[in-house]
Amino acid sequence: MKRQLTIDRIKCDGHGLCAELLPELIRLDDWGYPILAPGPIPEHLLPLAKRATEECPVLALALRRTRAA
Amino acid sequence: MSDLRLDFRLLAGRDLATGPEGLHEHVRRLGPLPSADRSLIDLVAGSGLTGRGGADFPVGLKWRSIAAAPSSAVILVNGAEGEPRSKKDRLLMTARPHLILDGAFLTARALHAKSIVLYIGEDHHASRQSMKRALAERTDEERRLVRTFDAPARYVAGTSSAAVHLVNAGVATPTSNPPTPHERGVDGAPTLVQNVETLAHVALLARSGRATGTRLITVVGGVSRPGVLEVDAGTTIGQAVAMAGGQTEPSRAVLIGGYFGSWVEAGKAMALSIDPQALRAHGLSLGCGVIGLLPASRCAVCEVAGIMRYLAGESSAQCGPCFFGLRALADACGRIADLGTNSTDLFQMQRWAAEVRGRGGCHHPDGAVMFLQSALQTFGDEWIQHPPHVRRSA
Amino acid sequence: MDILLWYTTRGAGAVTLVLLSGSVVLGILSVLRVQSAAWPRFLTTGLHRNLALMTIVFLALHVVTAVVDPFTHLGWLTAVVPFSSYYRTLWLGLGTIAFELLLAIVATSLVRGLIGQAAWRWVHWLTYAAWPLGVVHGLGTGTDTWSPWFFVLTVICVGAVATALVYRLVAGSPDPLTGPRAEFEAAVQRRESP
């Protein structure tokens, strides 16, 4: 089951926990807001990705199913 | 046949400078309001009519999906005209309000909509007056459907989701989707947001059986008679410039599509057809139809810096990348404009532009970034060689 | 045995106070976005959560030992119905309220994804009621109130939370968009159309 990270940009307040927990896929821009790596999440990173979505203080980060190519 | 065709232009009828066309005159000129049912949807779809609000989306498609929605729809008539240089919607509302109202009521009937929202720019006083008076001339049954709201005079307040948000929550900020206004908009109902010009076309289409093929554009900048023009399909920018009295001086470049548009070299631009589809093939967008000629005597870099400053200030400040990113880009442009080129700012601008794009909650940062990127490409040399000079006030 | 229960109740109560105060402080530091190269955000939030869970454990121990202790004559009802005990009715009742508030706060935090951010936040604000109620309960109910060790402990806990609170009130919003967002919203308010 392929999953992708999505973010509600209006909810996001630039807390930055997601980038701390998942640096392989998320980095912060010059102002502290997340830049997501595109494409499906590698299997071995799924648990961390899930944790990142749960730890977001404003629930802006979420996982969604990758649409079929 | 050609007489009939002349009547079915948006700006046909009394001289535009003589005030709004009242209901009596409107009916005398065009005939009464036709009846409308589901078949109007097929007529609209078959005509190929596309939206005039900037997205150029096929109107029939939009209508079909609203008609398929399980609950009663709301029609939102978008007369916000937040683009500062665009004047077409204002002109239409002021001079031909009944065309717009006809379109709204026809649409509401065809789609079994339960209500209509008029969303008119708060600063467009003449337009608001005109639409209000026109509404007073309509039947009780029609008037009962309509609620009017002022669109705040900010760039993003004219966005569909901002308009819906103003009605629902009292503040015109763009909202995240899902759900889109189309799915759940005013009072939670599926909402069809349609530009005033689009609805005016519907009013004519319902009477004549086919699309006018015309569109309204606003020509601004280095022309003798800047203002709104109604042009036929296939008209080139050069022809439109001639209709606007010709250039006051040679142009350096043309901005096609307003502040979210793209810059094109003047020579190349004049040959382009004012048609969204044709422009898309060139990677350009007509947007809401603003065509601006930049005189060769004006500094392109300074012009762009001024527009970027405006766009940065119009961020709704809901998303970091948009608010901070556009501000950083505007600051960099401003520094190059005032103090001269420096490689740091040039490099940073490229990086920030690439990073900001697509990372806002609405399309405001995207439009601004694409505007800037087209400026960097079209005025390449000017950016690299810009000398310091005190900026002339706009 | 009785004495053991009694000491456990008092001891667990004191530990609860310390853990809860620590959790509140960390919660405030989390909102203030305190961090450094060596102290990431998720450390603050992680510790905050763990201390809160530990608080519930010791709070449960405190309540259970208090109820089963024959000396106190408290029924299970007093654990859930405030002001229903004969023994120190007011002070114990405040503790009952604090207990229930904390249960709600922790429970909603565990299912935040299901109930949504808005509902979760509303309940979480009740911490500012639960903590002082817990402190007052401890001072009013315990026989240890004026014994040095408990008094000092309470002072330290109250001091820590008070300091964090002052910091919170003085620092203002750590979200740099707070001001600009409010400014924009004010500019696009719905006005009555004449």
The string of DSSP codes covering C90-135 is: HHHHHHHHHHHHHHHHHHHHHTHHHH-HHHHHHHHTTHHHHHHHHH
Mean pLDDT of C25-53: 96
Mean pLDDT of C73-94: 87
Using the Cβ of B361 and the Cβ atoms of chain A, whether some distance falls under 8 Å is answered with: yes
In the predicted structure, residue C75 carries a pLDDT above the cut 90: no
Model-wide pTM > 0.90: yes
pLDDT digits (tens, 9 = 90+) for B207-264: 999 899 999 999 999 999 999 999 999 999 999 999 999 999 999 999 999 999 999 9
- What confidence score (pLDDT) does residue C143 get? 62
Using an 8 Å Cβ cutoff, are B275 and B286 in contact? yes
In the predicted structure, residue B2 carries a pLDDT above the cut 90: no
Q: Which residue of chain C comes nearest to A59, CA vs CA?
A: C117
- What confidence score (pLDDT) does residue C60 get? 97
To the nearest whole angstrom, how far is the Cα of A51 from the nearest Cα of chain B? Answer: 22
Mean pLDDT of B299-328: 98
- For the record, the structure tokens of C72 come out as 């106190």
- What confidence score (pLDDT) does residue B1 get? 39
In the predicted structure, residue C81 carries a pLDDT above the cut 50: yes
Contact at CB, B150 and C181, closer than 8 angstroms: no
> What residues have CB less than 8 Å from B146, skipping those under 6 apart?
B104, B115, B116, B117, B118, B135
Mean pLDDT of B114-136: 97
Mean pLDDT of B132-146: 96
pLDDT digits (tens, 9 = 90+) for B285-311: 999 999 999 999 999 999 999 999 999
Mean pLDDT of C103-126: 96
Candidates A9, A14, A35; nearest CB to B355: A35
φ/ψ region of A33 (left if φ > 0, alpha if ψ in -120 to 50, else beta) reads beta
* Stronger pLDDT, C147 or B69, i.e. the higher one: B69
- What confidence score (pLDDT) does residue A69 get? 54
- For the record, the structure tokens of B255 come out as 């901005």
Using the Cβ of B149 and the Cβ atoms of chain C, whether some distance falls under 8 Å is answered with: yes
In the predicted structure, residue B393 carries a pLDDT above the cut 70: no
To the nearest whole angstrom, how far is the Cα of C101 from the nearest Cα of chain B? Answer: 32
In the predicted structure, residue C6 carries a pLDDT above the cut 90: no
Using the Cβ of B22 and the Cβ atoms of chain A, whether some distance falls under 8 Å is answered with: no
| B154 contacts on C by Cβ (under 8 Å) | 184, 187-188
Pick the closest to residue B74 from B40, B34, B119 (CA basis): B119
- What confidence score (pLDDT) does residue B209 get? 92
In the predicted structure, residue C5 carries a pLDDT above the cut 50: yes
φ/ψ region of A41 (left if φ > 0, alpha if ψ in -120 to 50, else beta) reads beta
Using an 8 Å Cβ cutoff, are B49 and B59 in contact? yes
